Amino acid sequence: MNNVLMKTSFTLPGQKSLYNGKVRDVYNINDKFLVMVASDRISAFDVVLPKGIPHKGQVLNQIAEKFLDATADICPNWKIASPDPNVTIGHFCNIYPVEMIIRGYLTGSSWRTYQKGSRSICGVPIPNGMVEHQKFTEPIITPTTKAKEGHDEDISEAELIAEGLISKEEYELIKKYTRALFQRGTEIAAARGLLLVDTKYEFGKGPDGRIYLCDEIHTPDSSRYFYSEGYSERFARGEQQRQLSKEFVREWLMANGFMGHEGQHVPEMSESWINEISDRYIELYENITGEKFIRPLTENINHRIEKNILEWLHEN
C-alpha cells in the first residue's frame, strides 16, 4: 500500500509540457517523443478514485506494450521503447479528440442505455429484443468525444465529421484500423480462453502526416473480457458472465451509491478491497498474456522510473 505510484512530476531534458490524465502522466519531449507513465491511479465514471491500486500501472503498460507489438502489422503505432515496467516512450502525435469504442456484445454502458429504451447508440441502430451480454451480429463502433475534464460524450460519425473533429477520409481509415485491431484482439483473446467484449482505441497524427495508433490497447482499463468457458450456458440462463475488466469496480461503486453524479461521494476503499482489485488486474495480465506477472522492487518507484527514462533519453 505504501509503494503505489499516484503521480509523477519529473523535469526531463527537452520537456515542453506535462499532462496528467486520469491514469497516465504524459511528457512532451521537444515535440519528438511522448513519455507516457502509467500510474496506479484508477478511474471510474470519469472520476479518479482517491486511492491507487498496487501494480496496476505496470499491468496496463505491459499489456499495452505486448498488444502494440502484436498489431504493428495492422497499422503504425506510436511505441518506440518501454524502458521501465510503467513507461512507454513513443512518437509525438497530435491526438484526435475522439475515442473509437468498438463493441462485440451488448453489455456495460451500452446495456444500461438499451435498458432505458434507446435503440440507437451514436447513430448506430440496435435491434429490439436483445438481452444483456448478447453478441452483436457484427461489432458496432460507438465513438465518444474525448473530454479534457468531466464525462466523455457519445457522438455519431456524421456529427464528428460535421463538427470538423476529423475529416471523412481520416475517419474512414481509423474506422478500418479499429475493426482490424478488434479482430486481432479477438483472435488473441480466444487463444487464451477469453472473449474480447468491447474496447477503445485512440489515434493521432504524427509529424510525418501518418495516422498512428496511440495510448493503451486491450488493457483492463480500456477493454472488457469474458471467460469463453461457460459463456453460452450463463447467457442461456440469464446469469452474469465471469469477466476480467474494470466493470466489477463500477458495479461495486454503483452498489454503494456512486455513479459520478454531482453530490455523490466515493465510498471508502478498504485495504482488502484495494488488494482484491490489484489481484484482479494481475489475473487479467496472466490470462491474456499467458505469462507470470513479475512484481518489481517497488521501493521508491518514482526514482526508478525517472532513472530509466533519463538513461533512455540520454542514449536517444
pLDDT of residue 149: 54
Residue 57 pLDDT greater than 90, yes or no: yes
Q: 274-298 pLDDT, tens per residue? A: 999 999 899 889 999 999 999 887 6
Do 171 and 156 form a contact (C-beta atoms < 8 A)?
Answer: no
Greater confidence, 3 or 68? 68
pLDDT of residue 148: 56
pLDDT band at residue 150 using 50, 70 and 90 as cut-offs? low
> What dihedral do alpha carbons 217, 155, 127, 119 form, nearest 10°?
130
Looking at CATH, the fold of the domain delimited by 95-245 is given as: D-amino Acid Aminotransferase; Chain A, domain 1 (3.30.470)
Identify the pLDDT of residue 147: 60
Helix segments in the chain, DSSP class H: 56-70, 109-115, 157-162, 168-191, 231-237, 247-255, 271-289, 301-315
In this prediction, residues 55-81 reach a mean pLDDT of 96
pLDDT at position 111 is 94
**CB-side exposure of 99: number of CA atoms within 13 Å?**
20
Q: Which residue has the cell 490470462?
A: 287
d(CA 265, CA 243): 26
pLDDT (average), residues 40-64: 93
What residues have CB less than 8 Å from 66, skipping those under 6 apart?
A: 289
Split at pLDDT 50, 70, 90, the class of 1 is very low
- The more confidently predicted of residues 44 and 186 is 186
What is the rounded distance in angstroms from the CA atom of residue 281 to the CA atom of residue 4?
14
What is the pLDDT of the chain when averaged over all its residues?
93
Q: Which tens digits make up the pLDDT trace of 194-228?
A: 999 999 999 999 989 999 999 999 998 899 999 99
Task: Give the 3-state secondary structure of residue 175.
Answer: helix
Q: What is the DSSP letter of 9?
A: -
CATH code of domain 15-93+270-315: 3.30.200.20
What integer is the mean pLDDT of 101-129?
94
pLDDT category of residue 190 using cuts at 50, 70 and 90: very high
Domain residue ranges in the chain: 15-93+270-315, 95-245
Residue carrying the nine cell digits 478511474: 43
- Scan for cell 455519431, then name that residue: 156
Diameter of the chain measured on Cα atoms: 59
pLDDT (tens digit per residue) in 84-114: 999 999 999 999 999 999 999 999 889 999 9
pLDDT of residue 46: 84
| 252-263: pLDDT as tens digits | 999 999 998 889
Cell of 286: 496472466
Share of the chain above pLDDT 70, in %: 97
